[in-house]
Amino acid sequence: MPRLRKAKIVATLGPATSDLQTISELFNAGVDVFRLNFSHGSHDDHRRRYEIVREVERVSGRPIAVLADMQGPKLRVGTFASGKVTLTPGARFVLDRNPAVGDAERVCLPHPELFEAVKRGQSLLLDDGKLRLEVLDSDGESIRTRVTHGGVLSDRKGVNVPDAVLPIPALTAKDLIDLEFALSLGADWIALSFVQRPQDMIEARAWVGDRAWLMAKLEKPAALEQLDEIVKVSDAVMVARGDLGVELPPERVPGVQKRIIRACRDHGKPVIVATQMLESMISAPVPTRAEASDVATAIFDGADAVMLSAESASGSFPVPAVSIMDRIIGEAERDPLYRSLIDAHEELPLPTRGDAICAALRNVAHTLGAAATITYTTSGFTSLRAARQRPLAPILSIAPRLATARRLALVWGVHSTVSADIESIDEMVTVARGIAMREGVVREGDQVAIAAGMPFGKAGTTNLLRIAEI
């Protein structure tokens, strides 16, 4: 049976979720996409988890997406002689290229590209924003700063630079190794961390090609200045509120989240809202009411998916976290306000055949009270454009390639299936009826609206709309 909800759930696998039984329980509880976080774990760890996901997919008979999340260019300070120091407000502190261990006056910053990028008056945030330094000057060898917000700074804590576009590639040497490994496994989605500009995605596309779809993680304020351009060259976007919440004032994050979701809806690109959604469930069996509201807000805003990070990777209650997220989504989507909000932001079709057909598909299904909209898709394009219209009826996507079906498991409202290529309109209708019945999305006597492209099997040719009765 298909999921009854439209929005999808992404769950991160980790030490707490590495065996067949637990991953099976996560899937049965509602997970649509499993995330492999390459910031942690070995390649062997990720391979074992990937193989288990594919076993769950084989048993369930339902395409499951795997998202490989690259670590990206995370900036970190070096080490200290005593393991940590205390920085006091008003004190001077230097970050330099000297590899020697640090003290209360200086520490190594092993990222030479940063020394040319920062300017006087800009801020450096350390340890997820717990400490703040004001840049006094930089000469290419050292960055002299004044401590504005002090505290304890320990070995290898992160550095954020909210005021600058850093001249660093979005794919590091480590990322390129991880990327090739993830693609060799068969990952369906590749997430690129700390995207700052469209060129980051274009360069990554040159590495990935058509072996997977590319997702931009937006966690740098600089990315917001070219938001539409980044969305256009991405296959999907993640609102990564962890680092984004460090580099932006907390009060700005909700508005930025809505703006990113809006841009993705406009361009018909899937969007995930991530980080700290059910954070308390790392150690508690139930979420806070504020967390439940946070998940529901993302759903009301029209997000394609919501994501669990540490809650499912290392928390004590991974399966309950998925279960409650599933229930929150379902409750939000049943609320009359949800549909009115979705319809209030109805996307006007772009002047293309594909958009015209998918807009008509939505309208026809609504007028007839169709039980399902059915999309035949080779590349995934037709199903993506149908999802952009946010139809009331579920989208049954039929693809001839398993890789396409897996990728579409992330997309709002899409129940993804696989079937062999068709050769005629009559065969299209017959196959659509059979799969719709098999998957439990229709009953005898129901009507369905079908979109496809002719000639069949050719990507990007959406030009056909057909009504059929079961």
Q: What is the DSSP letter of 149?
A: E
Q: Find where tokens 């229930």 sit.
A: 327
Tell me the CA end-to-end span of the chain in Å, nearest whole number: 17
Give CA separation, 398 vs 2, 353, 375, 405, in Å.
14, 19, 6, 8
In sequence order, the β-bridge partners of residue 306 are: 9, 273
- Segment holding 259, helix H or strand E: helix 253-267
Secondary structure tally for the chain: helices H, strands E: 17, 22
Q: 424-450 pLDDT, tens per residue?
A: 899 999 999 999 999 999 999 999 999
Given this model, what pLDDT does residue 343 score? 85
Position 33 confidence tier, pLDDT thresholds 50, 70, 90: very high
Q: Provide the annotated active-site residues.
A: 35, 76, 217, 275
- Report which residue type is found at 413: G
Residue 321 pLDDT greater than 90, yes or no:
yes
Please give the backbone phi and psi of residue 308, each rounded to the nearest 5 degrees, phi first: -105, 135
- Segment holding 236, helix H or strand E: strand 236-240
Given this model, what pLDDT does residue 232 score? 97
What residue segments make up the domains of the chain, in order of their start?
Answer: 8-72+170-336, 75-160, 353-469
Report, as an integer, the average pLDDT of 52-80: 96
Q: 362-374 pLDDT, tens per residue?
A: 999 999 999 999 9
- Nearest one of 266, 284, 270, 194 to 234, comparing CA atoms: 270
Distance of CA 442 to the CA centre of its chain: 30
Measure the CA–CA gap between 169 and 173, rounded to whole angstroms.
Answer: 9
Given this model, what pLDDT does residue 339 score? 92
- On whether the pTM is more than 0.85, the answer is yes
Position 164 confidence tier, pLDDT thresholds 50, 70, 90: confident
- Nearest one of 211, 219, 216 to 228, comparing CA atoms: 216
Measure the CA–CA gap between 275 and 303, rounded to whole angstroms.
Answer: 14
Helix axes 198-208, 173-185, angle to 10 degrees: 50
Same fold across 8-72+170-336 and 353-469: no
Q: Residues 319, 286: contact at Cβ < 8 Å?
A: no
Reading the block at residue 4, the tokens are 């009854």
Using DSSP's 3-state secondary structure scheme, residue 446 falls into coil
Q: 377-387 pLDDT, tens per residue?
A: 999 999 999 99
Q: Residues 387, 427: contact at Cβ < 8 Å?
A: no
CATH number (2.60.120.260, 2.40.33.10, 2.60.40.2470, 3.40.50.80) of 75-160 reads: 2.40.33.10
CATH class of residue range 8-72+170-336: alpha beta
Residue 43 pLDDT greater than 90, yes or no:
yes
Selected residue with higher pLDDT from 408 and 139: 408
Own/partner pairs for 243-246, CB < 8 Å, 24+ apart? 243/160, 243/194, 243/219, 244/218, 244/219, 244/220, 245/275, 246/125, 246/128, 246/129, 246/160, 246/162
Measure the CA–CA gap between 195 and 215, rounded to whole angstroms.
Answer: 10
Architecture of domain 353-469: 3-Layer(aba) Sandwich (3.40)
Given this model, what pLDDT does residue 433 score? 94
Report, as an integer, the average pLDDT of 282-294: 97
Q: Where are the beta strands (DSSP E) in 349-446?
A: 372-376, 395-399, 414-418
Selected residue with higher pLDDT from 232 and 347: 232
Q: 257-274 pLDDT, tens per residue?
A: 999 999 999 999 999 999
Measure the CA–CA gap between 308 and 206, rounded to whole angstroms.
Answer: 29
Given this model, what pLDDT does residue 319 score? 98
Position 229 confidence tier, pLDDT thresholds 50, 70, 90: very high
CA dihedral 395, 396, 400, 402 (to 10 degrees): 90
Residue 1 pLDDT greater than 70, yes or no:
no
Measure the CA–CA gap between 86 and 258, rounded to whole angstroms.
Answer: 38
Q: 183-221 pLDDT, tens per residue?
A: 999 999 999 999 999 999 999 999 999 999 999 999 989
